[in-house]
A and B are shown apart, each in its own frame.
Chain A
């Protein structure tokens, strides 16, 4: 409570969500200028729910999640805004306090489990270490707990495999071991940064099932960072689409995937191959590249790649950054786009291209 009295602004008067990120900015000073990797990101997440953050490489997904973990401390990153976890602003707590929260309240699993584990220590040693740092237990107890967790994530013969080195595990088993390490302290928030990208497709599904299963048991909030819309469709309650360091569309997962109102989201959906779709369906990549975060364009960051700027008229897209405004479909769905009738454009122009069989005659 002393933390709270010192920083009264850390506790919002409103009954905020379990995790509430408000206007988060992560800027890096480089010799070429300031890189605005994340620029004014806000979202909420409740326990037991999953938020999917989608976007291209360099859109600020991982930088934002590292900010929640406090991994930018001690670097040249400049952070502002609020990250309220259970009412405590993680940007304002001391380094030592943040260290204690890491792995205990907030845990993270990474994209490539081979490089994310130390090659010279056994899997068991690394999992035990995560438990021992936050719990005053003997080595024997920690080992027992590590074996329990390995068993829980589906490693066969965990009492034997606990002494294996990471290179002796398969890719899927390594990611399971990483999940065991992440969940060993029963964290309330788990951030999974592209947890299935480095894995084979059959293993991907198993890992996602495991995460959902564990989420039910541990009642954890999960942020899943991905560029795979299939993962989002399977896992996410809410979806946040990021582009050039900003949220460009945010809302319930089903809404975003069925009634997207932002041309960038349309582009993402158009570029997903679907094995079950008719062969008429086109696979359309998004042309161009994301803008430089050093010199972002003054208007909508997606404008140079957008095929729909003519629908707005004038040069509004090029000069003015659109605000996040409620989407036409209503609810909590918000979008950052100047197109007024985006829902109609989607149904009339985009849907027939990407999923002709869904269009009603």
Chain B
């Protein structure tokens, strides 16, 4: 077990290393010139931009720039923009070109809203998708089963941003059933927090649950055809116990695997949901940064997203050994 965790951690660190190198390289060699992004041509002369490049140390070899960036995350560093210099405290992901603030100070408050959306939406996905899939699997071939399959296909073929937008326009802005203002911190008022996020949760949950409904249905039907379900039946177990204990237990393993991946990507920010509902999350911040060519913010959100995905994948792998006793970690 410990050997497995160590090996898995090493590979996680390697993945993060490769991504961080890519991120730093993107800053230096990417299509967007940092000096141009920071101070566009009419405002700054070519000489001024050269000075900025010089101050950012862009001509230094990549390994030197990488070392500077990483040391900044651990120790903090001073960042000079031409004549101005900013103290960027650890963890320093650079200073925003646009807002001239430490990127970490900007981003750290955005993690809470994004996690709030992800956790609620993840729970909604499972609570809607899995029971519907089980329902359809038990009645496979029936009209109800076909109706479920049809409905999931229809929902899945609606673009997700359109679905979220329609939900917002009709249920929040139009009918006013749900509040429009979106996000309140959990620590302020749990009730306001949940109430404000309910519609984003439901919208995201419903759209994504269609995939889980079909996936659960497939896994359950596969489990029903297994010999051990026949054994359970021949022991005289009631049908509900066969479904909810024996078949579901087997079907849950592949569902967890897929959910781990999806939950990781929810945690890195749901751009459209945050945009439409005005939730100040990571996705929205990354979107704005891309629009403004705010390279330090893009770097930071990419790195943090990568970290989140690596961690969720690691957790899924560890959880797998709990779910399947045949997986020996060692």
Contacts and interface: CB of A to CB of B under 8 A. Distances in A.
Given A71-B230, A110-B227, A119 B325 contact: yes
Given A120-B249, A121-B249, A115 B226 contact: yes
B231 A116 contact: yes
Interface in A70-124: 71, 99-104, 107-108, 110, 112, 115-121
Task: Give the interface centre of B249, B253, B324, B325 by most chain A CB atoms within 10 Å.
Answer: B325
A115 B249 CA distance: 15
B128 interface: no
Nearest to B226: A115
Contacts of B233: 71, 102
Nearest to B253: A120
A343 interface: no
A130 B245 CA distance: 13
Nearest to B232: A118
A104 B325 contact: no
Interface stretch (B58-66, B89-97, B234-242): B234-242
B234 A108 contact: yes
- State which size class the interface on A falls in: 20 to 34
Contacts of A119: 228, 250, 324-326
B201 to A, nearest CB: 31
B237 A133 contact: yes
A110 B230 contact: yes
A216 interface: no
B315 interface: no
Given A110-B227, A115-B226, A120 B235 contact: no
A120 B237 contact: no
A102 B236 contact: yes
A103 B234 contact: yes
B8 interface: no
Contact of B324 (A116, A120, A130): A120
B326 A99 contact: no
Nearest to A100: B236
Contacts of B253: 120
B234 A107 contact: yes
B230 to A, nearest CB: 7
Nearest to B223: A118
Contact of A133 (B230, B236, B246): B236
B153 interface: no
A134 B238 CA distance: 11
A152 interface: no
Interface in B220-268: 226-228, 230-238, 241, 246, 249-250, 253
B156 to A, nearest CB: 29
Interface string B186-220: 00000000000000000000000000000000000
B323 interface: yes
Contacts of B227: 110, 112, 115-116
B235 A130 contact: yes
B246 to A, nearest CB: 6
Contacts of A347: none
Given A117-B231, A118-B246, A129 B237 contact: yes
Contacts of B246: 118
Contacts of A110: 227, 230-231
Contacts of A28: none
Contacts of B237: 99, 103, 129, 133
Task: Give the interface centre of A100, A118, A126 by most chain B CB atoms within 10 Å.
Answer: A118
B236 A103 contact: yes
B49 to A, nearest CB: 63
Nearest to A96: B238
Nearest to A98: B236
A336 to B, nearest CB: 30
B230 A116 contact: yes
Nearest to B141: A76
A120 B253 CA distance: 10
B235 A116 contact: no
Contact of B234 (A102, A121, A167): A102
B234 A71 contact: yes
Contacts of A126: 231
A165 interface: yes
A41 interface: no
A115 B235 contact: no
A115 B325 CA distance: 15
Contacts of B230: 71, 110, 116
A178 B236 CA distance: 15
Contacts of B241: 133
A101 B231 contact: no
A71 B234 CA distance: 7
28 contacts: A71-B233, A71-B234, A99-B236, A99-B237, A101-B236, A102-B233, A102-B235, A103-B234, A103-B235, A103-B237, A110-B227, A112-B227, A115-B226, A115-B227, A116-B227, A116-B231, A118-B228, A118-B231, A118-B232, A118-B250, A120-B249, A120-B250, A120-B325, A126-B231, A130-B236, A133-B235, A133-B238, A133-B241
Interface of B: 226-228, 230-238, 241, 246, 249-250, 253, 323-326
The 5 closest A-B pairs by CB, nearest first: A103-B236, A102-B236, A115-B227, A103-B235, A118-B228
Given A115-B228, A116-B228, 10 more contacts: A71-B234, A99-B237, A102-B233, A107-B234, A110-B230, A118-B228, A119-B325, A129-B232, A129-B237, A178-B231
